[in-house]
Amino acid sequence: MKLTRRIKLVAFAGMLALGTAAPAYAADLIAIITPSHDNPFFKAEAVGAEAKAKELGYETLVLVHDDDANKQSELIDTAIGRGAKAIILDNAGADATVAAVQKAKDAGVPSFLIDREINATGVAVAQIVSNNYQGAQLGAQEFVKLMGEKGNFVELVGKESDTNAGIRSKGYHDVIDDYPDLKMVAQQSANWSQTEAYSKMESILQANPDIKGVISGNDTMAMGAYAALAAAGRKEVIVVGFDGSNDVRDSIASGGIKATVLQPAYAQAQMAVEQANDFIKNKKSPAEEKQLMDCVLINGDNAAKLETFALTN
């Protein structure tokens, strides 16, 4: 640490001695913190935010918290320590994150939240949130229609620590529970994981061979579930996902998974960086802290227009 500082000082002195007109500081830094990039959704967020930040002349620090609130807290310390001018964050828990974002705020680093909201206002500068509830209602309405309003179904739920796992499940049930002839025979978490969804689906199917549909909290679990159903010769089972990934798009196109719901991840991350830029350069906050972005139903009608979490016209 000391040595680094000395080297920097020497370099600085050297630059002064040379009398160059170049500014003696590096470009401002924006930290981009998301869950693991194993899920292409979060990768799209990071890529979108990074591209916009670079376009606006920032350096970026891209980090992943793996949905671990403690790790997230450490990463926020790192961002503060590195002198980040702003943090773009897809957070690791609606309650657990409040203190971490407050810590950054106290250190003078503004946070711009994407995708998931936190249970406090006035701590982050912006919370640009996918309307997961509205999206889940769209997915569930399509599911209900495909099921013909009746039959046995399974729900795969996401990671419990992730606010959106609960929101989506509530949104699904908000619609589905209005139909008494739709019966949920199993509800299990597969932690957003494709492999876990595969093995869970295999055992659920053994216990409940008479299922007609599977509604999944995200696309990776939908992919895992559909693979298990296909392996068991049950391709006719209706599967609906959430996120709008290219994998599910391709599955829809080939008659596999029936529908998903697109969250505009890429556009949302870019919007957050634009708002951060406005805050850094002009001290301007967005008109509203909490901003909802609607989700869009993707099925056979529009799947072809989907590319990397964005719809083309």
Partner 1 sequence: MPNKPTCSILAAPLIAVTVGVSLTGCKILPTPSAENGGKPPAFNADKMVGDIWAAKAVPYLQQKAGPFPEVHALAKADPAAAGAKYGNPKKQANSPWTFSIRLEGKIVAANTQSRAATMDVDADGDGKADARVQIGPAMRGTALRDSLDFIQFNDFTNQIDFAQFGKAFNIYADKTVLSKLPRDALEGRSVKIVGAYVMGSGQDLPLVTPAEAEIGPKP
Residues that bind partner 1 (CB under 8 A): 94-95, 117, 119, 121-122, 129, 131-134, 137, 141, 144, 149, 163, 166-167, 170-171, 174-175, 178-179, 264, 288-294
Task: Give whichever of 142 and 247 is closer to partner 1, judged by the CB atom.
Answer: 142
Task: Name the token pair of 59.
Answer: 């350096």
User: Minimum CB separation from partner 1 for residue 41, in Å?
Assistant: 18
Sign of the C-alpha dihedral computed for residues 88, 93, 94 and 97 taken in this order: negative
Which CA distances in Å does 96 have to 100, 104, 216? 8, 14, 25
State the minimum distance, in angstroms, from the CB of residue 147 to partner 1: 12
Nearest CA-CA partner of 308 in 44, 35, 38: 44
Return the number of the residue (121 or 199) whose C-beta is nearest partner 1: 121
C-beta of 292: minimal distance to partner 1 in Å?
Answer: 5
Query: Left, alpha or beta for 138 (phi > 0: left; psi -120 to 50: alpha)?
Result: alpha
**Shortest distance in whole angstroms from residue 120 CB to partner 1:** 8
Smallest gap from Cβ 18 to partner 1, in A, equals: 48
- Min dist. Cβ of residue 214 to partner 1 (A): 21
* Of residues 51 and 292, the one with the C-beta less far from partner 1: 292
Place of tokens 């619609």: 175
Residue 168 DSSP SS3? helix
CB of 129 to partner 1, least distance (A): 6
Which lies closer to partner 1 via its Cβ, residue 84 or residue 259?
259
Q: Are strands 260-262 and 296-298 parallel, antiparallel or unpaired?
A: antiparallel
* Angle between helices 40-55 and 265-282 in degrees, nearest 10: 30
**Residue of 172, 214, 221 whose CA lies nearest to 192:** 221
Give 146 or 229: the residue with its C-beta nearer to partner 1. Answer: 146
Nearest residue (CB) to partner 1, 128 versus 204: 128
Q: How far apart are CA 140 and CA 11, in angstroms?
A: 60
Closer CB to partner 1, 59 or 289, in the complex: 289
The closest alpha carbon to 89, from 106, 101, 77, belongs to: 101
Stretch (H or E) spanning 206: helix 194-207
